[in-house]
Structure 1
Amino acid sequence: MASTTIRLATGDGFAVDDLRVVERARSWTRPEAGAGYRLVFVRRGLFGLRVPGWSGLVDPLVAYLRRPEDEQRIAHRPGAEDTCTVLTLDGELAAELGADRMPRGPLRTDPPIDLAQRAVLAGARRGDDGFGLAERVVWLVRQVSRLDEREAGGGKPSHRRLAESAREALATDPAWPSFTALAGELGVSRAHLSRVFRAEVGESLTRYRARLRVRAVLDRIEDGETNLARLAAELGFADHAHLTRTVRAELGRPPARLRALLG
Structure 2
Amino acid sequence: MPQDRTLLYAGRGFEVAHVRLHAPQGPVWSDLYTVASPRVVFPIGRTRLDVRSGDDTWLTDALTAIRFGDATAYRLRPETAAVRHSLVVSGHASVGPTHGASTTGVSVCLMTPQALYRMHAARRQLPDTDGTQAATLVASLVAYLAGAPHQAPWHGAVARARQLLLSEGSGPGTRVLSLDELAEAVSRSPFHLARRFRQQTGLSLHQYRQHLRLASAMERLADGERDLAGLAHDLGYCSQSHLGAVFRQAVGVTLGDARRVLGPAGTGASASARI
Tell me the residue number matched to 2:248.
248
**Quick one: which amino acid aligns to residue 164 of structure 2?**
A
SS of 1:72 mapped into structure 2: strand
Q: Give 2:163's aligned residue.
A: 165
Which secondary structure does the structure 1 equivalent of 2:44 belong to? Answer: strand
Report the counterpart of residue 101 of structure 1 in structure 2. 98
Partner of residue 87, structure 1: 89
Q: What is the CA-CA distance between 1:111 and the residue it aligns to?
A: 2.1
Instruction: State the match for 2:64 in structure 1.
Output: 62
**Superposed counterparts of 1:120-159, under 5 Å:** 120-126=122-128, 128-150=129-151, 157=156, 159=157
2:27 and 2:77 in contact (8 A); partners too? yes
Residues matched between the structures, number: 251
Matched letter for residue 51 of structure 2: L
Q: CA deviation digits over 1:71-129, x for unaligned, max 9?
A: 1110012233322111112xxx42xx374526233112222221121112111132x22
TM-aligned CA distance change 1:198 to 1:165, over 3 Å: farther
Aligned with 2:116 (options 114, 118, 125): 114
Task: Name the structure 2 match of 1:26.
Answer: 27
TM-score of the two chains, using structure 2 as the length reference: 0.80
Q: Does the CA contact (< 8 Å) of 1:179 and 1:190 recur in 2?
A: no
Q: Is the 8 A contact 1:54 1:105 kept in 2?
A: no
Identity %: 22
2:221 corresponding residue in structure 1: 221
Q: By percentage of residues, which structure has more helix?
A: 1
Give the equivalent residue in structure 2 for 1:49: 51
Q: 1:196 aligns with which of 193, 197, 200?
A: 193
Q: TM-score normalised to the size of structure 1?
A: 0.83
The worse-fitting range, judged by mean Cα deviation, of 12-21 and 97-106 is 97-106
Match of 1:6 in 2: 6
Provide the alpha-carbon RMSD of the alignment. Answer: 2.8
Contact kept? 1:163, 1:197, Cα under 8 Å: no
Task: Report the CA distance shift for 1:130/1:82 in structure 2 as closer, same or farther (over 3 A).
Answer: closer
Aligned to 2:40: 39
3-state SS of 1:28 partner: coil
Deviation at 1:38, TM superposition (A): 1.2
Note the residue ranges of structure 1 that are not aligned, 5 or more in a row. Answer: none
- The amino acid that maps onto 2:261 is L
Aligned CA distance change for structure 1 residues 250 and 189 (closer, same or farther; 3 Å) = same
Matching of residues 222-241 of structure 1 within 5 Å: 222-241=222-241
Structure 1, 18-27 or 59-68: larger mean CA deviation: 18-27
